[in-house]
Amino acid sequence: MMKQGLLGIGIAVMATVPAFASDNAGAFIEQGIGARAAGMGMAYVSVVGDSQSVYWNPAKLTNVKNIDVNGMVTSAFETNFSNVQVAGPVGEWSMGLGFYGANTPGIRRTTLDTLSDSGRFIATGDEFSYSASAVFLSTGKQITPELSLGASVKVLSEALDSNRASGYGVDVAASYKVSEQLAVAAIVQNALQPRMVWNTASGNVDTVPRNLKIGADYAIFPNWIAAGDIDIRPSRPFKYHLGTEYWVSPIVPIRLGLDNVTTQGGAKFDLTLGTGIYLERLRMDLSWSNPENTVIADVWRFSLGYMFIP
C-alpha cells in the first residue's frame, strides 16, 4: 500500500504540474551497494577495494590489480535491486564498468479524485510499474604512493508507467593513505548533476542531488577495522554510517554497523550485521539490516565476487 500511494501521487504530480526543476531524482542509487558494505552500515567509501569502487569511490580502483567481477541482488522497500561491476588495470590506469537496476512491479493504479469510505484512493483494477537503471564508466589513477584520484561518468534512466526520463552525470573522488593503519577518502556524487527530463506534456525536469561523502577507516589490529562515513547533501540533515569488520579466521569475517544514523528528532539508525566466505578467487557476502522504520521489512543482501588471478 505504501508504494501504491507514494508512486501514485508522484505520477499525478508529474502529469499535471507545469515544468519545473526539483531535486529528488535518482533515489534508486542512493541506497548503496554490496553486502559487505551493508553489513558495515554502508561505511565504505574508504574501505572499498574491489570492482564495487565503480560506485563507492573510483579512486579506489587503483587497488584492483587483476580483473575483478562483483554483483548483488536484493529486494527492499518493495523494490528489486541488482547490480554488477567489472574492473581491472589498463596500463597505468584502472578502469571499471558498472550496471545498477531497480524495478517495482505491480503498482495499483488508483483514481485521483475519488476516495473510499476509509479515505483511500480507489483502485481502478489496472497496474503499472517503476523501473530505473544506471551505467557507470569509471577510472582511477595513482598520483603518489599515498594519493589516488578517480572519476565516473554515468547515464541514468527512469520509467514510471509510460513516462520516461534520462540524464548523465559525473562523480569525482579521492583516496589518501595517512598511515599503515589509517586511510581517508571522499567522493562528490553528482558533481555534474544529472538532469532527468521527463517525456510528459509538462516537460518536468528532476535534478539528481549532489552528495559529498567523506569516510575513514582504521586498522585496530591486522584482522579488525573500524570505519565511518558522513553524507552531506544540500538542504538535508547530515547522515552518518558506522561499521566494523573482524576476521575470525583468514576466510570468515563478521560485521556490525549502524546505517542511516541521524540525530534529528532524536537518535535514529538502522542496525546491520554481516558475514562472508573468502577463498583465493571467490568472495561471498551476506548482510541483514533492520530499518528503523518498523513498517519496512528487514533487508537481506547477497553479493558474489570473483577475481581472475593469473
Grid cell locating 116: 473510499
DSSP letter, residue 110? E
What are the Cα distances from residue 147, in Å, to 118, 175, 177, 208, 273? 60, 6, 7, 28, 31
Q: Are 153 and 170 in contact (CB under 8 A)?
A: yes
Cα→Cα distances 114→6, 9, 145, Å: 16, 13, 65
Higher confidence at residue 82 or residue 294?
A: 82
Q: Is residue 297 within 8 Å of 56, Cβ to Cβ?
A: no
pLDDT by residue (tens digit) across 239-270? 899 999 999 999 999 999 999 877 666 667 88
For residue 278, the domain's CATH number is 2.40.160.60
- What type of residue sits at position 46? S
For residue range 150-199, what is the model confidence (pLDDT) as tens digits?
999 999 999 988 889 999 999 999 999 999 999 999 999 999 999 998 88
pTM of the model: 0.86
Q: What are phi and psi of 260, to 5 degrees?
A: 55, 45
Mean pLDDT of the chain: 87
Q: Is pLDDT above 90 for 203?
A: no
Helix, strand or coil for residue 65?
Answer: coil
Cβ count near 306 (within 10 Å)? 18
What lies within 8 Å, CB to CB, of 104 at 6+ separation is: 3, 7, 78, 79, 80, 129, 130, 131
- Share above pLDDT 70 across residues of the chain, in percent, rounded to a whole number: 84
Q: What is the pLDDT of residue 181?
A: 97
The confidence score (pLDDT) of residue 29 equals 86
Distance (Å, rounded) from C-alpha 152 to C-alpha 268?
Answer: 32
Per-residue pLDDT at 266:
65
Domain with 247 in it: 2-308
Which of the four pLDDT bands, split at 50, 70 and 90, describes residue 10?
very low
Pick the more confident residue, 109 or 30: 30
* Total tally of structural domains belonging to the chain: 1
Mean pLDDT of 204-233: 95
Residue 28 — pLDDT band, cuts 50, 70, 90?
A: confident
CB atoms closer than 10 angstroms to residue 266: 6
* pLDDT, tens digit (0-9, with 9 covering 90-100), for 51-90: 999 999 999 999 999 999 999 999 887 889 999 999 999 9
Sign of CA dihedral 178, 181, 182, 185: positive
**What does the pLDDT read at residue 142?**
97
